[in-house]
Amino acid sequence: MLFATSEVHPFSKTGGLGDVSGALPHALATLGHEVLVVTPWYRTLRGGARPLWIGDVQVPFAGGFEAAGVGTLESGHVRYAFVGHADYQRDDLYGYSDDVRRFARFTRAVPQVAARLGFRPDVLHAHDWHTGYLPMVLAHGWHLPDGFPGLPSVFTVHNVQYQGTSGLAEALWWLRLPGALADDYMNHFGSANAMQAALGFAHHVTTVSPTYAHEVQRPEFGYGLDGTFRHVRGKLSGILNGLDTHEWDPAADAHLPRPFDRRDLTGKADAKRALTAALGLDHERPLLGVVSRLADQKGIDLVVQAGERLVAQGWALALLGSGDAGLERDVRALAARHHGSVAAVVGFDEALAHLIYAGSDALAVPSRFEPCGLSQMIAMRYGTLPVARDTGGLHDTIDHQRTGFLFEHATPEGLLWATGLARAAYGGSSWPGMVDTAMRQDFSWEASAGRYAELYRTVVASAR
Ligand code: ADP
């Protein structure tokens, strides 16, 4: 199985895509699959990884052929190939005006690199817009190595908000594809759209939760592609992401003062004490945590608007996040107004995130949309009940009033309704049972990897 992705933990990561690309190939290898992961060779690979450089490949690109370097390493029965080019020697992974061109180059390099390593896949799995043109290239591209033309493909949508758009003529020129394709799936109202091309040409499309697969077919969630999703719904399904249960394990978490599990929660009480002491919060109040990117998607503005009333309900708030400058200012201002009952830390802080998951009583996840979401799963594993918007992966992982609290309307009042339920339950007889049930949920990758493996089999069989 050939896995093409723009980021992969532990080498590169900006979000959930990196987590999935890191964990799923290992879970598939455990099931007996032979997996090659192809990813860009960014200037700074995390964890000091040093792939072995094995030479160049000639990539069909922009009307000719251009050289790209190939690096490789193996880890835990998974092989990795890194595509080297000046395009990836920048400070950040994304965010440049020529991103579509950069990842068109990467897309075109994937088959040549796999062939260079002597890898003959039976199926391709591509992810998000960066590798969205691969199914189309496999269907129509010139200069593909033996075994690659017509290779069956699965495409996974991690977030439909980002689609990779450019001019039609230039995208076809970069990818060296026939001009007639300008009238095909890549054409979204006159622009080239990498994600829509993938929806059209992949043999099967998945989203990272079953509910999100339904939601993207609606205008409120589809970001202009809802019609296309409806059109391809016969080959669309959702497979829930798993959680790295080794990294997120309260019984073996070096960031906590003392480990704990569901049979003995004294370590959780210690974590709360350490957290409230570190942030200067009133220890007696029930503690509502937030660990989130500060982006419109995540609905943190609802927490800010409800801030006064959350404190009036009796909560203390521990907020950790970074991103949008306006939201960063707003959470800081809220904390300044409620000294002792609201604390805000702006930044990306792995250690504090662990302590908030462990030390909080509840975690607010008020996302406007959520393709899957990991933070609610982490919270449950740490005995912290999520108070979350009833959408996407949050809907699929949280059982209202059994493992957490769900609210429907993305308004401060919607959030306050659910925090009110949680506040009423906190300290009562039902709370410990809910915590125990939440901690017993199985979010490991095993089940999801099995579903992907089954899907690959189906796709390969039907392509024959
Ligand atoms: P998304 O990928 O949309 O940001 P997820 O819930 O899928 O949301 O994953 C977010 C991951 O990033 C979680 O592991 C969460 O703990 C982590 N995270 C988000 N913001 C921060 C932060 N400011 N500091 C530390 N970790 C963070």
How many angstroms separate the alpha carbon of residue 243 from the centre of ligand 1? Answer: 12
How many angstroms separate the alpha carbon of residue 358 from the centre of ligand 1? Answer: 15
Give yes or no for residue 188 having a pLDDT over 90.
yes
In this prediction, residue 15 carries a pLDDT of 82
In this prediction, residue 173 carries a pLDDT of 98
Q: Are residues 305 and 381 in the same domain?
A: yes
In this prediction, residue 398 carries a pLDDT of 98
Under 8 Å between Cβ of 240 and 208:
yes
Give yes or no for residue 251 having a pLDDT over 80.
yes
Beta bridge partners of 72: 52, 81
Alpha-helical segments (H) within 159-257: 168-175, 194-201, 210-215, 219-222, 226-231
Q: Are residues 438 and 450 in the same domain?
A: no
Cβ–ligand 1 contact at 349 (below 6 Å): yes
Q: What is the mean pLDDT of residues 160-174?
A: 97
For atom 15 of ligand 1, the residue with the nearest CA is: 375
pTM exceeding the 0.85 threshold for the entire prediction = yes
Residues composing the chain: 464
In this prediction, residue 47 carries a pLDDT of 77
In this prediction, residue 16 carries a pLDDT of 85
Q: Are residues 58 and 199 in the same domain?
A: yes
Q: What is the DSSP string of 269-317?
A: HHHHHHHHHHHT--TTS-EEEEEEEESGGGTHHHHHHHHHHHHHHT-EE
DSSP H or E segment with residue 150: none
| 410-431 per-position pLDDT tens digit | 999 999 999 999 999 999 999 9
Q: Are residues 313 and 388 in the same domain?
A: yes
Q: How many domains does the chain have?
A: 2
Q: What is the mean pLDDT of residues 60-80?
A: 96
| 104-150 per-position pLDDT tens digit | 999 999 999 999 999 999 999 999 999 999 999 999 999 999 999 99
Pairing of strands 153-157, 362-365: unpaired
How many angstroms separate the alpha carbon of residue 133 from the centre of ligand 1? Answer: 28
Q: Are residues 230 and 353 in the same domain?
A: no
Q: What is the mean pLDDT of residues 150-172?
A: 97
How many angstroms separate the alpha carbon of residue 247 from the centre of ligand 1? Answer: 13
Q: List the one residue out of 203, 239, 240, 157 whose CA is nearest residue 461.
A: 203
Q: Are residues 188 and 296 in the same domain?
A: no
Q: Are residues 457 and 435 in the same domain?
A: no
In this prediction, residue 262 carries a pLDDT of 97
| 108-118 per-position pLDDT tens digit | 999 999 999 99
Q: What is the mean pLDDT of residues 142-159?
A: 97
State the CATH number of the domain containing residue 64.
Answer: 3.40.50.2000
Alpha-helical segments (H) within 31-98: none
Token pair recorded at residue 266: 């004294």
How many angstroms separate the alpha carbon of residue 321 from the centre of ligand 1? Answer: 8
* Helices then strands, each counted (H, E), the chain: 17, 18
Which of 249, 255, 293, 352 has the most ligand 1 atoms within 8 A of CB, as the residue to mutate? 293
Looking at the CA of residue 159, tell me the nearest atom of ligand 1. 3
Give yes or no for residue 382 having a pLDDT over 80.
yes
Q: Which domain holds residue 296?
A: 250-443
Of all residues in the chain, what percent carry a pLDDT higher than 70?
A: 100
How many angstroms separate the alpha carbon of residue 322 from the centre of ligand 1? Answer: 10
Cβ–ligand 1 contact at 375 (below 6 Å): yes
Q: What is the mean pLDDT of residues 284-298?
A: 96
Cβ–ligand 1 contact at 40 (below 6 Å): no
Q: Are residues 202 and 269 in the same domain?
A: no
